[in-house]
A and B are shown apart, each in its own frame.
Chain A
């Protein structure tokens, strides 16, 4: 058959069956509308990546040979080490604490359930700054040590250097582990007691249950959490810059700004994208054809084992340490500065900027969650590789450094604006100017594209845990795909939707590089406000705004915690 599908649609009547089956082969049978919708959304969301790829096609001159000879090998090695370290530590802390607070009762365990989420509200650039204030040579701790022992300079004593790869791994792990904790806990809460009881009956200890039953069952959730943490780690620019760790993202920035090669920068960004795609692919392959469904609807509240004495104290310490390191310590640094400067900090644009941040983050959270539900459901409804691949690409924006993604958004948006303007001028004689670029819309789109992975992760994982039997039953009863989504899936997905919305909201509040580049005239968010003050060395004044970012991030975290806890089917009512 030589004619293309396009020809066939034009010459309607000729072999419509062949046309339809060709389409079905690509898009999956029966769910054409959903597949096409998902493809359109994916196209919209991956437009920035396509723009970057096109930029990367430009010649970067002799940049590559130079980079490969000089900075790239060490940058790649450093990035891999950073990701390995952060991945391992966040997994241990996130899954370990989630298991402890879900399955055991020990002193303060009820409080720790939500306190463990707190570091999520602290942006990496803020915690890095706080740790420098504490541990650097001029920081509180070394200064006190020198005073105490009468040392005069660095040659007289040894102190671990916070501005190092190890420093970066530790500091970043302790703010990124909540991604794993959040998804792991949601998964542990949704697990069926029956599975655990069978496991205990078969002679497994409580820890044996964790290793052999709960963790393998939670794997999609754990992977979703870790990959979020790793992508955050891959695209971070604030913390690594403060801590002097030259990762690939730093190479992207310096190549673009200092070597003056946007094409070269886009090429490195593409290499980073390959990293991410490889990670996602490796995980999918490893999981192969395993499915993670619950086979039973029998839920009782989880049996909580009481830990007393030393084991209780050990559990308490294990859970309180991450909160102290990732939250309490840095926040105490901020609070000290904020208390001294709150008057001058409250002047001026503070309230307006806070309003901007809230509005943008809420809009981005709504949009990202809505699109993620549509994408994940379309994915579920079809086996089409095209749809699965496209929706995967749509989420890759998270791994791209913010400034590069911002350029990727700016280019297609401005091209669209200029095309509309040219058309309107030639046909109607009116100039429409720039409609979208340089507007709040561009910012919301940037946040949505950047944090799509954050909302798609938990929602997709939750879909995967829902048995397909439910879909089948619903469809058998005559409910369409849309109806099944509304009446069957959304109620089940509620906790995941909440988690996704929370993550996007908080991430958008913290977002800095794209906000800086894409914002309209005379427009600031809290993050850009903090950044501007901090880059003036008025960090003391920035402390209040930084605390505000953290505080605003806290409210939904606490709400979220309640939602997760109540989400478990068969859960005790909160009053009991």
Chain B
């Protein structure tokens, strides 16, 4: 018995010691993580809602140019709340987002600061930035319809038409609550009014082939596999699939669809943005400003165009060859502020018609 006891006691002591040791190790690695403040301008901290691989080429180019190293935290959720909670001592310098909604939300929460920069103002047209300088768009993407080459004859379409009963059981789309769809529905509200948009959304829901889910690429795969004839998605997904050397089967998905720019003959195709904001208590403000100016520059805008196949916001920066091959289109010129202001109403509509419960509900 005493042997057992001493063994158990030893086990417990071991556990305590291990816990203690790991704590010390943890705080040690923390010391490494919170990089030296003394090297002012030597680094810049980014809280990013955008995928790291999309921004990595830009940050590498920036570091090569200026010697400033970028640290990144990527999350799809909660970064604005993290900055707010960290308050005065927040290490965040720059916030990168995938939509205008996050930008205006950050500004409303008071975690951003106004930026006045001649360079940025020259690079980014006024309609793609906040008049007060709290946020700036960096790239644009069209929200288009991908139609099956084999099963869909028509070469033009409108968003309104997606609610036409002739498409019953033929359409794939991701969750109505995703920022891309909320922005689209917000723009529709702005154009059609709330009552008509609700009708439209109900009609679209009735036409769905399946419950909304997955990302835009999964919808295009749905067209390829025959589950649906139309899919709604952002433009750059097409490029990501066509150029996918790691998963060559995605090239077949891309080859099975044609890209239709809705309403290009009328008010224009809905366009959403990615963007940036300077954090309110940015500890490396100078470096962050330099990075913001860089991201709006010709060089960075060209990288966005060439590697991500998005549409640059800066005038005169050429589209990539792939993007050019999709042809030109008329973009809906609705103000970003309008879209942001209508987001809540749009999100409420998604709930009201129970969009995410799918066609059978």
Name A's B-contacting residues (CB within 8 A): 66-67, 69-71, 74, 137-138, 143, 146, 152-155, 161, 163, 241-244, 246, 253-254, 256-260, 262, 341, 344, 359, 362-363, 366-367, 369-370, 403, 406-407, 410-411, 414-415, 417-418, 421, 431, 433-434, 437-441, 444, 486-487, 490-491, 494, 513, 516-517, 519-523, 532, 535-538, 540-541
How many Å from the CB of A68 to the closest CB on chain B?
A: 11
Taking chain A's interface residues, is the majority helix, strand, or loop, or is none over half, making it mixed? helix
How many Å from the CB of A297 to the closest CB on chain B?
A: 13
Which residues of B lie under 8 Å from residue A262 when comparing CB positions?
81
How many Å from the CB of B358 to the closest CB on chain A?
A: 7
Known: A254-B177, A486-B9, A517-B78. A138 touches B225 (CB 8 A): yes
Which residues of B lie under 8 Å from residue A535 when comparing CB positions?
51, 76, 215
How many Å from the CB of B112 to the closest CB on chain A?
A: 15
- The answer to whether A138 and B33 have CB atoms under 8 Å apart is no
How many Å from the CB of A451 to the closest CB on chain B?
A: 15
- For the complex, what is the distance from the CA of A161 to the CA of B361, rounded to whole Å? 14
Q: Which residues of chain B from 98 to 118 have any CB-CB distance to chain A below 8 Å in the complex? A: 101, 105
How many Å from the CB of A486 to the closest CB on chain B?
A: 6
Per a CB cutoff under 8 Å, which of B34, B179, B218, B227 touches A438?
B34
Q: Which 4 A-B pairs have the closest CB atoms?
A: A366-B19, A363-B22, A439-B30, A138-B225
Which residues of B lie under 8 Å from residue A411 when comparing CB positions?
85
- The answer to whether A244 and B358 have CB atoms under 8 Å apart is yes
How many Å from the CB of A534 to the closest CB on chain B?
A: 10
Max count, chain A CB within 10 A of own CB: residue among B22, B77, B78, B215: B78
- The answer to whether A403 and B77 have CB atoms under 8 Å apart is yes
**Closest B residue, CB atoms, query A531:** B76
How many chain B residues sit at the interface, stated as a range, is 35 or more
Question: Does B275 sit at the interface, judged by CB under 8 A?
Answer: no
- The answer to whether A538 and B247 have CB atoms under 8 Å apart is yes
Known: A258-B182, A434-B34. A490 touches B8 (CB 8 A): yes
**Closest B residue, CB atoms, query A409:** B85
Question: Does B262 sit at the interface, judged by CB under 8 A?
Answer: no
The total of Cβ contacts below 8 Å across the A-B interface reads 203
**Closest A residue, CB atoms, query B73:** A521
Known: A71-B351, A434-B89, A517-B82. A260 touches B344 (CB 8 A): yes
**Closest B residue, CB atoms, query A431:** B89
The contact sample of 15 A-B pairs, CB cut-off 8 A, is: A69-B352, A70-B352, A71-B351, A137-B225, A137-B226, A138-B224, A154-B226, A363-B22, A410-B86, A434-B34, A434-B90, A440-B30, A440-B33, A441-B23, A535-B76
How many Å from the CB of B57 to the closest CB on chain A?
A: 15
- The answer to whether B225 and A370 have CB atoms under 8 Å apart is no
Question: Does B140 sit at the interface, judged by CB under 8 A?
Answer: no
Name B's A-contacting residues (CB within 8 A): 4-5, 8-9, 11-12, 15-16, 18-19, 22-23, 25-27, 29-30, 33-35, 37, 45, 51-53, 71-79, 81-82, 85-91, 101, 105, 169, 177, 179, 182, 209-213, 215, 217-218, 221-222, 224-227, 246-247, 250, 343-344, 347-348, 350-352, 354, 356-358
- For the complex, what is the distance from the CA of A184 to the CA of B56, rounded to whole Å? 49
- The answer to whether A414 and B87 have CB atoms under 8 Å apart is yes
- For the complex, what is the distance from the CA of A146 to the CA of B226, rounded to whole Å? 11
Known: A137-B210, A441-B27. A516 touches B75 (CB 8 A): yes
- The answer to whether A246 and B356 have CB atoms under 8 Å apart is yes
How many Å from the CB of A47 to the closest CB on chain B?
A: 13
- The answer to whether B23 and A363 have CB atoms under 8 Å apart is yes
- The answer to whether A258 and B177 have CB atoms under 8 Å apart is yes
Per a CB cutoff under 8 Å, which of A254, A362, A417, A439 touches B27?
A439
How many Å from the CB of B63 to the closest CB on chain A?
A: 13
List 16 extra interface pairs beyond A433-B34, A520-B73, CB under 8 A.
Answer: A70-B352, A70-B354, A137-B227, A253-B77, A258-B179, A259-B347, A260-B105, A363-B19, A421-B88, A437-B85, A439-B33, A439-B34, A441-B30, A490-B9, A517-B82, A521-B33
- The answer to whether A244 and B356 have CB atoms under 8 Å apart is yes
- For the complex, what is the distance from the CA of A517 to the CA of B73, rounded to whole Å? 8
How many Å from the CB of A223 to the closest CB on chain B?
A: 27
**Closest A residue, CB atoms, query B151:** A153
How many Å from the CB of A472 to the closest CB on chain B?
A: 18
Which residues of B lie under 8 Å from residue A258 when comparing CB positions?
177, 179, 182, 347, 350
- The answer to whether B19 and A367 have CB atoms under 8 Å apart is yes
Which residues of B lie under 8 Å from residue A407 when comparing CB positions?
78, 81, 85
Known: A154-B227, A521-B45. A74 touches B19 (CB 8 A): no
Which residues of B lie under 8 Å from residue A369 when comparing CB positions?
15
Which residues of B lie under 8 Å from residue A516 when comparing CB positions?
74-78
**Closest B residue, CB atoms, query A146:** B226
Which residues of A lie under 8 Å from residue B209 when comparing CB positions?
154
- For the complex, what is the distance from the CA of A538 to the CA of B221, rounded to whole Å? 14
How many Å from the CB of A295 to the closest CB on chain B?
A: 21
